Structure 1
């Protein structure tokens, strides 16, 4: 029997490196969602393009980090590899990138 199948489950409260990276990626995605929402709220001001670029960049970083965690995980949920957080980071990053793209396209039309 392979060694990795005999390992002990990791406690939910412990912060492993996979869980840490998935949290960092999800945080980048949340920052992107906030920046994208603010950019959409301020379409007429000059800060719209900057906020849209921040949202787009943070969303791509969140998706890349989440994708890395999911690709590097060697086990499923509860194993400490952060795969659930990686999938959450992928979704939040995608939402942030979509908001940034939408704000950027609306800012170009408004200009």
Structure 2
């Protein structure tokens, strides 16, 4: 139990150091800007798609219905759309982290889209193998 507490404190310290370092610079924008709103929508859709791909992967292991194939196809298509949409966002908004452009959120959305496409690909491979 003490080891978990120590690990948690170390993790919190590593997370707080960049926050304290960036707080010294006063050029950061706070609140929702149009760029951050766009990136937030990207991230939410990417997260939903990754969850959907994970559920279809779980369905493929249980062998229910068509092995999660329909959900995997939808997750793959929506994941590709999320990646394209977030890539457009990254190219349109040139600002870095903390400028209010939502660039970090768009990068996270790209990672979520790639995750959903990978999970959907594994699902399609498993469902093809069982058929």
Query: TM-score by structure 1 length?
Result: 0.83
Runs of 4+ in 1 over 4 A off after TM superposition: none
| Other-structure match for 1:17 | 34
Structure 1 alignment gaps of length 5 or more:
1-7
Q: Which residues of 2 match residues 57-76 of structure 1 at below 5 A?
A: 57-76=77-96
Q: Secondary structure at the match of 1:42?
A: helix
Does structure 2 conserve the Cα–Cα contact (< 8 Å) formed by 1:36 and 1:96?
A: yes
1:9 to partner: Cα distance: 3.8
How far, CA to CA, are the matches of 1:65 and 1:15 in structure 2? Answer: 19
For these two proteins, the number of residue pairs brought into alignment is: 102
Task: Work out which structure has the larger RCO, using CA pairs closer than 8 Å and 6 or more positions apart in sequence.
Answer: 1
| Other-structure match for 2:12 | none
| Other-structure match for 1:54 | 74
How far, CA to CA, are the matches of 2:28 and 2:82 in structure 1? Answer: 27
1:39 paired residue among 56, 81, 86: 56
1:81 paired residue among 90, 101, 106: 101
2:45 paired residue among 23, 28, 34: 28
Higher-Rg member (1/2): 2
Q: What is the root-mean-square deviation of aligned Cα atoms in Å?
A: 1.4
| Other-structure match for 1:97 | 117
Query: TM-score by structure 2 length?
Result: 0.71
1:21 to partner: Cα distance: 1.3
